[in-house]
Structure formats: C-alpha cells, structure tokens
Amino acid sequence: MAEPPACNASPLIVLARAGHLDLLRGLYGTVIVPDAVGSEVLRGSEGDPAAAAVQSEAWLKRTEVGNVPPHIAAWDLGSGEAEVLTWALEHPGCEAILDNRLGRRCARALGLPVRGTLGVVLLARKRGLIPAARPVMDALVRAGLFLTPDLREQALRLVGE
C-alpha cells in the first residue's frame, strides 16, 4: 500500500472553503498533516472549515516531523512546506501536496512526487470521484485558488472537458 500523502496548508484551506476537502479522503483515505501545517491551519479565522476539519477529522493525521534537513532548509521555504517535504523525503512513495511554486520546485529537485490542489481535482475527475472538474475548479477559485485562464483550460482539456 502506498504511503499517505503529506499536505500543506493552502490545499487544505482552499479545498475546505470550497466544500471539497472530501476529495482528499476519497483519493487517499489518510492524509498526513505535519504539525507546522496544522498550526498554520488552526490560526485561521473562527469557524474556518479547514481548522474544524484538522481538529475533528481522524483521516487528517496530525504528525510530528523531525528536524528539517539542511538541503531542504536551504530552499528558505515556509515551515509547513519544509515539513511536508521532510516527511515525504523520509517516507519513500509519499506524495507532497502543495501549491507553493518554490516548494514544488524543491520537491522535483529532490525527486519527490508532488501534486497541487488542481492536480487533486484532476485526479478525482479521472478516478470518477466527481462527475466534472469545472464546477469544482469554479468553487476553488471562489475560495481563493488562483488559476490563470490558460492553466484552467489546459487542465480541463486533460480531463476531456
């Protein structure tokens, strides 16, 4: 069985605000939430759905991560991104779910599998968890995910929409 993915704050927050956090559970069953990520999510506003989920959903596993290795720390990422990548590095086959461009670049440089929020939606569509990606993407954009029109159309083409 594959390692559960480690997820950064922004995908958790935007998926929860859009009402689609269940896509992560449907795709992966369990999702690792490093302590730095959990702390960031919990600093959200009162009633934030991501904070509520991190506190109550057993499938979101708050996890202590060891020291960030120097070759990840050198990228000068936020603590959440650094812990997601540290966890993924220490657990071969673990996918890093993050949207931060520099964090994704670091993951690729380390040879780690990486997927962003948009990639989660596309995978959910390909696996039949959602009937269409477009309405989910619309909800994510309303919830604060930035997608250029070109990227949006390219992504929709990938899933035949």
The pLDDT, as a whole number, for residue 1 is 52
Helices (H), 3-143: 9-17, 22-28, 35-42, 49-56, 70-73, 79-90, 101-109, 117-126, 134-142
Give pTM, 2 decimals: 0.94
Coil, strand or helix at 31:
strand
The pLDDT, as a whole number, for residue 46 is 79
Domains and CATH numbers, the chain: 6-158 (3.40.50)
Mean pLDDT computed over every residue of the chain:
95
| Cα 158 to Cα 85: distance, rounded to the nearest angstrom | 27
The pLDDT, as a whole number, for residue 53 is 95
| Cα 161 to Cα 139: distance, rounded to the nearest angstrom | 16
